[in-house]
Amino acid sequence: MFKDVSFGQYYPINSPVHRLDARVKLLSVILFVVAIFFVKSYFGFMLTAALILFIILLARLPIVSVLKSVRGILLIVLITAILNLFLIKDGEVLVQWEIFVITKGGVHTTIKMVLRLVLLISGVSLLSLTTTPVQLADGIESLMSPLKLIKVPVRDIAMVMSIALRFIPTLFEETVKIMNAQKARGASIDTGSIVQRVRSLVPVLIPLFVNSFRRADELAFAMDARCYNATDKRTKMKKATLRFADFVAAFLILAFFAVILLERYYFPTVGINIDAKIFGGLL
């Protein structure tokens, strides 16, 4: 399970998406996350999926790498789907067995909730797949630069966030190695009841925490040896500049956000139901 997690990993390739300014990508992801919570129709989800697919093709990313990020939330998706399916009792009753009732409204709510979670994680994972931790740190620092006026340590916050993002796949790899080592010693981690599995994770978590603190200590010494934070006037080898492609990307994400808002708030007021036009009597 852990080896399939792709969040926090960078896919090195020269593509138009990789060359975009990190600040534009960060703001685009924030706007994407806000927009997806405004989506309430199947048309909106189709538009969101088309946008993600377009970015994947433009960035020349393997779709498998993006889908791997979804595997980590499959349990959350499953629990959410079951709760919505049986607890929401709106609309026509489709299935009823004793106390369990499945309604048409519950089915549609479940499908939309699953789509929202899957698309949300897939879209956010594109940021780490197309942006290096250094670029993310520089972008976060640049966007938070106005906070320097009130003495907020912006550079330190950006560096902490980039380091945390960078070490997510490293910690997962370390967890897999420790679990394999425990299995080689006869430990039973994947079998037994839930309580037994939780108890079997204790021999995994203890060395994982020890190794994490050791890595943090080594990283602190390495940064100190390179005189990091020795001066307040640090310079950058590469200065980020906005190009024409960055403005095009910003326009596209703004257009996507505008369409989502129109579909949610404006179209219903003028009697336009896009879902009904596309799916007809299926809804």
Is 148 part of a structural domain of the chain?
Answer: no
Q: Indicate whether 123 and 262 sit together in one domain.
A: yes
Residues 84 and 166 in one domain: no
User: Which tokens go with 175?
Assistant: 């967890």
pLDDT < 70 stretches in the chain: 1-8, 190, 192, 229-237, 279-283
Same domain, 229 and 251: no
Within this chain, do residues 226 and 246 fall inside the same structural domain, yes or no? Answer: no
Burial profile 158-180: b = 16 or more Cβ within 10 angstroms, e = fewer: bbebbeebbbebebbebbeebbe
Q: What is the total count of domains within the chain?
A: 2
Query: What is the pLDDT at residue 1?
Result: 47
269 and 165 both lie in a single domain: no
Taking the C-alpha atoms of residue 21 and residue 3, their distance in angstroms, rounded to an integer, is 29
Position 276 in a domain:
yes
24 occurs within a structural domain: yes
Domain membership flag for residue 197: yes
Domain boundary among 210, 233, 256: 233
Q: Are residues 223 and 253 in the same domain?
A: no
Q: Report yes or no on 223 lying in a domain.
A: yes
Q: Is residue 140 part of a domain?
A: no
pLDDT, residue 224, reads 83
Tell me: do 126 and 159 sit in the same domain.
no
Q: Are 45 and 99 in a shared domain?
A: yes
Specify whether 174 is located in the same domain as 110. Answer: no
Which amino acid would we find at residue 211?
Answer: N
Distances from the Cα of 45 to the Cα of 117, 120, 226, angstroms? 11, 11, 48
Residue type at 185? R
Note down the domain range covering 272: 2-131+242-282
- End position of a domain, from candidates 233, 254, 271: 233
Give a yes or no: residue 143 inside a domain.
no
For residues 202 and 72, state if they share a domain. Answer: no
Domain termination residue (choose one: 193, 213, 233): 233
CA neighbours within 13 Å on the CB side: how many for 248?
7
191 assigned to some structural domain: yes
Long-range contacts of 51-58 (CB under 8 A, 24+ apart): 51/123, 51/256, 52/119, 52/122, 52/123, 52/126, 55/17, 55/126, 56/126, 58/15, 58/16, 58/17
Is 220 in the same domain as 252? no
Q: Each residue of 211-232: pLDDT tens digit?
A: 888 888 888 888 888 777 655 6
As a whole number of angstroms, the distance between CA 102 and CA 80 comes to 15
Whether residues 88 and 220 share a domain: the answer is no
